Structure 1
């Protein structure tokens, strides 16, 4: 891998900031070398801070993975310089907002093209462990859609002292408003509202950096290539295909086979105390006995790893995808976990899968959404998924059920407006 093949990579590798400044305007900042690394990957792994800041200032892509599946943010966490992690994280958030704003007009138009409707969605967690189910949340969400507006009503407010705080909360999305003002949450009991922050504050980002620096670096993907569906059976003596009523909809039940979550974790940046704390937290969640009021201490930058003795030529001569270590020595663990999920499909449900996906993409867009759309449109059995059950921990299963749906032409505009007697309270929901 010669320097003239990847001149910007080579300049970053050598820490030649002047040469980087010359090349940065004429070269593709998202170009990958034979190991899948972009210039930003190399700058972060080698601790070349000036190169990192220069690349970020020129909008080098952050949500991009190398051949091993790691992003520049993951490598920044491993290296352990707090300011670099913060800078990369801030740029990641900015690029995500810009990408959404670019797609926003098309998403809003797709929402307008869908008929207006009312939808009831029940979700709950249950467990076979005695008493645990009583501590787990459940709720019926009521969703209204008119034009480019969506309203979601829920009764779950917060979780404190081992119980879920109930209330009367509404989320209102207004597609005709500016992005900064398009999402609002109402507390209907206290008659207050709060606009959900479009952009994280410096304090929010600092808190997130603390969490990243004290947690495993995780790369996970749910592969859909090998997923198949088989009819669920019912009956003891005489087995037959399972068909039941889910709410008011007759549904055929299927087992989801080959559903595997592949994950890789890195923890070379963690102390033994960090690892023990994280292990205890996961165990408590699995037992349904966790606390969410743990204070995250401000983390200091780690001592930098030793500078690698690898030259650019040696890096380039390494087999593709098997780069010599450039940063902290990896402590990685791979895991593949199979899930025994169940889905109930109904031909009676008035909404189709493609319409549901159009709505979801507006309220929760993400990079892999097209993969989800392709999977649900081509692999799902016939009908609409009115119920989905999937284990999230060995003892806890999550269940989502579409309990009701109807097309509506009588929804009033004031349903999607902030009531005039509500006052603004920017601190009502501190986590939003």
Structure 2
């Protein structure tokens, strides 16, 4: 964030001050899944190099989403470690988002990496294309839609989106696989399982056992055929898969914000919430106009829909929106994931 700050502040200052409402929700054709998928209307305020994002989703527990009143504030001119702040407007507490991790947090991440699958997933856009969506059986015509009741839009189907995923798990024991299954089940129920000793200290995983000795000599290794070298470590437990998706997008020339301006805003808010995939999608070569509505596949059974339903340039924006209220107290543990 500090490396990007100068360019980010410059870009934000070049955009007029505005207020925007962004509605997002997840949809699924699976009945049980669709019941627990969240939705929200995010309110975004921008003034100078400052951005504020208000949301109502707080937490997930007992198969229910907890609602509240949360604000993320980015102050482009604040000192490091003070530029990103989260407010709980119900409890009246705030937390500064840390740039560096503590030793305990690093230990937690190492412990997690040693006991979970090695996953790599990316969306390939080599063959992406935008095709005008059409309606009608005999007389075909391009589909149009009035988004949010005010933005006349042209609908496109996005072809060529491919999710490529790779997974390795040769470092996991049978016990690890069982524990991971239990953790996944606990997460879907909104609870968290973590082992502690009698003193309340987290129980860490022991070091990985060394790989078996393959008894390969140096001569055998250096004289092996190119691309067919003897494996010195553990035998791979590897799975690779690809999945093709179709997304839809509504492009409008009536929306007053440009795509480039949107990318500068997403650069700030993407680390929070669910905007990173939207930012990645927007970087594709879009048709002319502004993407007022985007439906992006997140999982094979889950689709995210984002709608820009309101936007207003505003000359005067209250400065109080971008500062922590004086009656709020600091609580560095309010949001453990930040």
Consecutive unaligned residues of structure 2, counting only runs of 5 or more, are 196-202, 272-277
Q: Which has the higher helix share?
A: 1
Contact 1:108 1:362 in 2 (8 A): no
Q: Hey, what's the Cα distance between the residues in 1 that align with 2:293 and 2:186?
A: 28
**1:121 equivalent among 10, 16, 22:** 22
**1:203 equivalent among 92, 104, 107:** 104
Contact 2:161 2:245 in 1 (8 A): yes
Contact 1:224 1:375 in 2 (8 A): no
The one-character-per-residue Cα deviations of 1:88-134 (angstroms, maximum 9, x if unpaired) are xxxxxxxxxxxx43332222222222221111111111122335323
Q: Which has the higher strand share?
A: 2
TM-score normalised per structure 2: 0.85
1:303 positional shift: 0.9
Q: Does 1:348 align with 2:249?
A: no
Q: Hey, what's the Cα distance between the residues in 2 that align with 1:112 and 1:308?
A: 60
Q: Which residue of 2 aligns with 1:293?
A: 192
Contact 1:263 1:334 in 2 (8 A): yes
1:272 positional shift: 3.0
Contact 2:61 2:189 in 1 (8 A): no
Q: Which residue of 2 aligns with 1:268?
A: 170
Consecutive unaligned residues of structure 1, counting only runs of 5 or more, are 1-99, 366-371
Q: Hey, what's the Cα distance between the residues in 2 that align with 1:154 and 1:383?
A: 27
Q: Does 1:189 align with 2:129?
A: no
Q: SS at the partner of 2:241?
A: strand
Q: Hey, what's the Cα distance between the residues in 2 that align with 1:273 and 1:306?
A: 19
Q: SS at the partner of 2:2?
A: helix
The one-character-per-residue Cα deviations of 1:125-177 (angstroms, maximum 9, x if unpaired) are 11223353232100000011111111000000111111111011101011111
Please, what is the CA RMSD of the aligned residues? 2.8
Q: Which residue of 1 aligns with 2:274?
A: none
**2:241 equivalent among 335, 356, 359:** 335
Q: Which residue of 1 aligns with 2:156?
A: 254
Q: Hey, what's the Cα distance between the residues in 2 that align with 1:124 and 1:222?
A: 21
Contact 2:167 2:238 in 1 (8 A): yes
Moved more, 356-365 or 155-164: 356-365
Question: Which residues in structure 2 correspond to 1:297-312 (within 5 Å)?
Answer: 298-307=204-213, 309=215
Contact 2:250 2:292 in 1 (8 A): yes
Contact 2:55 2:69 in 1 (8 A): yes
Q: Hey, what's the Cα distance between the residues in 2 that align with 1:384 and 1:146?
A: 21
Larger RCO (CA under 8 A, 6+ residues apart):
2
Q: Hey, what's the Cα distance between the residues in 2 that align with 1:305 and 1:143?
A: 51
Distance change (3 Å), C-alpha of 1:226 and 1:316: farther
